[in-house]
Structure 1
Amino acid sequence: MTGHEGDRERTFAALPPAQGRGFAQTWWGRAWLRALEDAALDTGQVKTGRALARAGAVGAVSVRPGRITAVVQNRDRTTHRADVLLAELPAEQWDRFLDMALERAGDVAALLDREMPPHLVEDAAAAGIELLPGLGDLEPECDCGAWDHCGHTAALCYQVARLLDQDPFVLLLMRGRGEHALLEDIQARGAAPAEEAPGPEGVDAAEAYAAGDILPPLPAPPELPEEPGLPPSLDTEAPPGPGLDPVAVRHLAGRTAVEAHRLLAVALRQRSSEPLPPVTELTTAQDAVRLAVAAPDQALTERLAGGSGRDPRSLADATRAWELEGADALSVLEDQWEPSGAALARARAALDSAWDEDERPSLTADGNRWTVVGAPAQVRLGRDGRWWPYREEGGRWMLAGSAALDPATALASAEPVSAEPQR
């Protein structure tokens, strides 16, 4: 260790209060606290120490091989020097530990990144090298006179758990080897720097599995923005390339942002245990309708009408359906089919049970479309079993609202309905 005397003691400034957070976020930090909590004879003193550490009552922490020290302030502002002792590892065990770390280039890289690979500690323990303290390994000393862990030594242990979360080299220093000496020993054994080590492709399966229970939780889902994002401006001094319509490109980018916003809304509405609904592959004609929503000028509308196989008037009906419920509503607008078998039986049963006998309107059927006699109102049965309300306007049937599972609810959206009840 000659030449590394300055590496044998590190002092860490006092940490702020730990309000609203645990003391150990890493698995090695939690293992450190288990050694304290499982061995302490007086759990009340452990609770007192945790409260003192949470309140920021632990001063600067000095870490040396075999010992950690800090001054801890009581609530009455009296202070005590607290020490916790942990046995150093003998040189022979350090040699074996370094040889084990060098067997995998990833272990060296993890140590340099201030991480402690679980399998490295487990393999070391299997070889008789106990890096982490076990039951009774944390020996307390305090000038308050306690013979077991008191609130002061417990507070020091809780504070050290926070330091260990940030840097596992703190534990290695307590066990007798400073960071610079450790890295020098690794290089002396012929290890390449972690950045240059070729390493195997992928991740060791056992290592990944062992780390599964210490990974941080996933972040909370993002909040849904109130409005879709705005695409960047395309206004430049350079003229557009041949065949490029800046208005159309700008509109395409805007509609893409709207669709992304809609898909995000659908995803955020799903519970984690529920699968997302299947994505419907749009035909070219359906996609032209999607793009025609809020088209910025008549020329683009006419081009999209041609792409959808419609005239501008029927394209307006289609975009109205799309704005209400997307591809599902568009399919019902275009798709006239003949229910048969079980589908027809379910449709008739739904129509019969939807109204009381004296309130049921007279309906005429044409495939999947039931029209109220003497009124500009209609319900259409979708292939998914939902009913869609339609109202006649200017000689054309227009979608009047969202789908419903009950035909009476759907038909109410097509009001006003002036129909005589059946007799």
Structure 2
Amino acid sequence: MTSPYQRPGPRPGPRGRARGGARTAPLHDDRRRTFPPLPPADGTDGAFAATWWGNAWVEALEDTALDAARLARGRAYAGRGLVDAITVTPGRVTAYVHGSRARPYRTEIRLRVLGDDDWERFLDAAAARPDHIAALLDKDVPHALAAATDLLPRVGDLVPDCSCPDDGYPCKHAAALCYQSARLLDEDPFTLFLMRGRGEQEILAALSHRNAARTAAETTAAPPPVPTVPARAAVTATPAIALPPPLPPPPHPGRPPVYPEAPDAPDPLALELLATEAAARAHTHLTTGHDPVAALTPWQDAVRLAAAHPGSGLTASTRALYRDLAAALDRTPADLARAVAAWRQGGAAGLAALEDAWDPPAGPFDRARPALLAADFPHFRPWRNRLSTTTLQLRYGRDGLWYGYESDAGREDWWPRGTPDPDPVGALAGLLGR
């Protein structure tokens, strides 16, 4: 039986040379990442990590530690930048940490890798909600997605080891490595996924496959052919042959073909985007008689375009979509990702709830706080059309719906979550997954 704490295999030696003396290109290893040493950072204020998942990583070690003094020294080591380059492989985080002697100590943190069933649950949960995919692309980990599996470490999950003579659990060198690793997780949550056993490209490929499978499942069979009349026969017949009735509109807009890449040709993603957009607008105009896009502002239209393509950002070519749309309107990709999450939450009204702070008239808004208080949610404070705690927020939209938002404590970095609801308690229950 294989231990869940996997040890990486022997490190490969230098690449050989091909015939003729040419050096072969190094192969990309999706399951091994080495990060350069991080610069010194002040971690003495009690918040060494910035994200909620980075803090969960730190808390898992701190709750297991047997000596608070060693933790404090390890935090100081990390803050002074005494941790060298960090290598992350499935189940293992390794680095050399400088201490009191000239030669650094080899230090590592081991943790359990997730099994195949755990990863299937995680990938299914991520692919089922486009806002989860958007959050991952923006280097964010939704609470609900992390809860789908044991992604975050708990007490006892992190096993430290070090070549130093200190038998503390953990020693200060292992604690320093743990604190510096939290900073890596802040920058890129895919580092946590690698620690748990899967590389970034492997995860993105699996999500792309699920998106393709979902799209194929939603594609309906073509309608049966209808009787036709040759044009020549219709024109020359005496008396004129009655033409068949118009074809019924299809239930869904058609999908464009796959455009190959070619030198000096337009970007295939841009062509696919334009063709898909034209088909969707034509179908809407055919079935409803109006164009819903005509009244949108350029920013609303850019958000709608990005939100209509949940796979955007899963590959290097599609990441350009967010970048180019945001740059064209003097916004950042993070601005666009947040707006896309709001659009997927409630369309144009959801985007307005994200961007518009207004003073609602007396009525439903004034009745919201007593309703929340009766439901044992007493800590919401009002500001204009918003009710907030340190991590949760409800925004009252001009459409009469309540929109849920979440943020890490103390950051005021609000992201749309949950389903809009005319009842603030119902919106909060959806936000909390009740």
TM-score under structure 1 normalisation?
0.46
Whose Rg is larger?
1
